[in-house]
A and B are shown apart, each in its own frame.
Chain A
Amino acid sequence: MRREGSALAGAGVVMMKELADNLSSARMRLLEVLVFVAGAGAVYATIGEVRNIVSEDPFVFLRIFTTAKAPLPSFVAFLGFLIPIVAIALGFDAVNSEFNRRTMSRLLAQPIYRDAMLFGKFLAGLATLAIMLTALWLFVIGLGVLLLGLPPSGEEVARAFVFLVIAVAYGGVWLALALLFSVAFRSAATAALAALSVWLLFAFFWSMLVSLAAPLIAPVDPDDVFSALHNANVVEGLSRLSPNTLFAETALAVLDPSIRALGAILSSQLEGAVKSPLPFIQSLALIWPQVTGLIACFLGLFTIAYIAFQRQEVRA
Chain B
Amino acid sequence: MSAPVIQAEALTKRYGAALAVDNLNLTIDEGEVFGLLGPNGAGKTTTILMLLGLTEPSSGRATVAGFDPLRQPLEVKRRVGYMPDSVGFYDHLSGLANLRYTAALCGLKNVEADKRIAASLARVRLTDAAAKPVHGYSRGMRQRLAIAEILMKGASIAILDEPTGGLDPQSTREFLDLIRSLKHEGMTILLSSHLLELVQSVCDRVALFNRGRIGLEGRVDDLMRSVLGGSHVIRVEAQGADLKRVIEGAAGVAHVTETAEGFTIEAAEDVRAAVARAIIEAGGALTRLEAGHASIEDVYTRYFEGARDAA
CB–CB B86/A109 < 8 A: no
CB–CB B84/A113 < 8 A: no
Complex Cα distance A109/B102, Å?
Answer: 10
Complex Cα distance A10/B105, Å?
Answer: 5
Residues A109 and B54 in contact in the complex (CB < 8 Å), given A5-B74, A102-B84: yes
Binds A, one of B31-39, B65-73, B298-306: B65-73
CB–CB B105/A112 < 8 A: yes
CB–CB B71/A4 < 8 A: yes
Within 8 A of B (CB), among A99-120: 101-103, 105-113
CB–CB A4/B87 < 8 A: no
Is the CB of B174 closer than 8 A to any CB of chain A? Answer: no
Interface size bracket, B side: 35 or more
Min CB gap B294→A, angstroms: 34
Is the CB of A315 closer than 8 A to any CB of chain B? Answer: yes
Is the CB of B209 closer than 8 A to any CB of chain A? Answer: no
CB–CB B46/A109 < 8 A: no
CB–CB B55/A314 < 8 A: yes
Complex Cα distance A86/B45, Å?
Answer: 38
Residues A314 and B54 in contact in the complex (CB < 8 Å), given A4-B72, A101-B88, A111-B78: yes
**Beta-carbon nearest neighbor of B67 in chain A:** A4
A-contact 0/1 string along B76-101, CB 8 Å cutoff: 01101111101111111000000001
CB–CB A108/B88 < 8 A: no
Complex Cα distance A101/B134, Å?
Answer: 12
Complex Cα distance A102/B105, Å?
Answer: 17
Contact of A1 among B71, B81, B86 (CB under 8 A): B71
CB–CB B105/A13 < 8 A: yes
A-contact 0/1 string along B179-194, CB 8 Å cutoff: 0000000000000000
Is the CB of A275 closer than 8 A to any CB of chain B? Answer: no
Chain A residues, CB < 8 A from B46: 315
Chain A residues, CB < 8 A from B82: 105-106, 109
Min CB gap A93→B, angstroms: 13
Within 8 A of B (CB), among A1-52: 1-5, 9-10, 13-14, 17, 21
Chain B residues, CB < 8 A from A112: 74, 77, 105
Complex Cα distance A109/B52, Å?
Answer: 7
Residues in A lying within 8 Å of B, measured CB to CB: 1-5, 9-10, 13-14, 17, 21, 101-103, 105-113, 313-315
List 22 contacting pairs A-B, 8 Å CB cutoff, sorted by A.
A1-B70, A1-B71, A4-B71, A4-B74, A5-B73, A21-B92, A101-B89, A101-B90, A102-B88, A105-B49, A106-B82, A106-B149, A107-B102, A108-B54, A109-B52, A109-B54, A111-B77, A113-B74, A313-B55, A315-B45, A315-B46, A315-B55
